[in-house]
Chain A
Amino acid sequence: MKVLVAVKRVVDYNVRIRVKSDGSGVDTDNVVMSMNPFDENGLEEALRMKQAGIATEVIAVSVGGEKSQDTLRSALAMGADRAILIKADEAPEPLGIAKLLAKIVEQEDPQVAILGKQAIDDDSNQTGQMLAALLDWPQGTFASNAEFDGDAINLTRETDAGLETIKINLPAVITTDLRLNDPRLPKLPDIMKAKKKPIDIVEASSFGIDLSPRLEVVGVAAPAEREPGIIVADAAELVEKLKEAGAL
Chain B
Amino acid sequence: MSILVIAEHDNASLNASTLSTLAAAAQIGGDVTVLVAGHNAGAVVTEAQAASGVSKVLVADDAALADGLAENISALVVEIASNFSHVLTAASNFGKNFMPRVAAKLDMMQVSDIVEVVTADTFVRPIYAGNALMTVKSKDSVKLITVRSTAFDAVAETGGSASTEELAFGEAFAGTSFVSRDVTVSERPELATARIVVSGGRGVGSKEQFTIIDDLAEKLGAAVGASRAAVDSGYAPNDCQVGQTGKVVAPDIYFAIGISGAIQHQAGMRESKIIVAINKDDEAPIFQIADYGIVADLFDVVPELMAKL
Contact = CB atoms under 8 A, between A and B. Distances in A.
Interface of A: 11, 13, 16-17, 19, 26, 93-95, 98, 117-118, 120-134, 137-139, 141-142, 144, 154, 157-169, 172, 177-179, 213-223, 226-227, 229-236, 238-239, 241-242, 245, 247-248
Interface string B12-47: 000000000000000000000000000000000000
Majority-rule SS of B interface residues: mixed
A245 B127 contact: no
B63 interface: no
Contact of A126 (B10, B103, B132): B103
Interface stretch (B137-145, B157-165, B202-210): B137-145
Contacts of B228: 178
A221 B135 CA distance: 8
24 contacts: A17-B132, A26-B132, A94-B110, A95-B103, A123-B112, A123-B113, A129-B104, A133-B105, A138-B176, A158-B238, A162-B239, A163-B238, A165-B181, A166-B176, A166-B178, A215-B109, A216-B137, A218-B122, A218-B136, A220-B132, A223-B126, A223-B130, A232-B294, A234-B296
Name the interface size band of chain B: 35 or more
Contacts of B244: 120, 123
Given A159-B239, A161-B184, 14 more contacts: A26-B128, A126-B110, A127-B100, A130-B100, A130-B104, A157-B93, A158-B238, A159-B93, A162-B181, A218-B122, A218-B136, A218-B137, A229-B293, A232-B293
A117 B133 contact: no
Contacts of B56: none
B264 interface: yes
A156 to B, nearest CB: 8
Contacts of B107: 95
Given A95-B107, A214-B138, A164 B180 contact: yes
Contact of B101 (A132, A219, A222, A232): A132
Interface of B: 10, 67, 69-71, 74, 92-94, 96-105, 107-113, 122, 126-140, 173-184, 192, 228, 231-232, 237-239, 244-245, 247, 252-253, 263-264, 270, 273-276, 282, 287, 289-296, 301, 304-305, 307-309
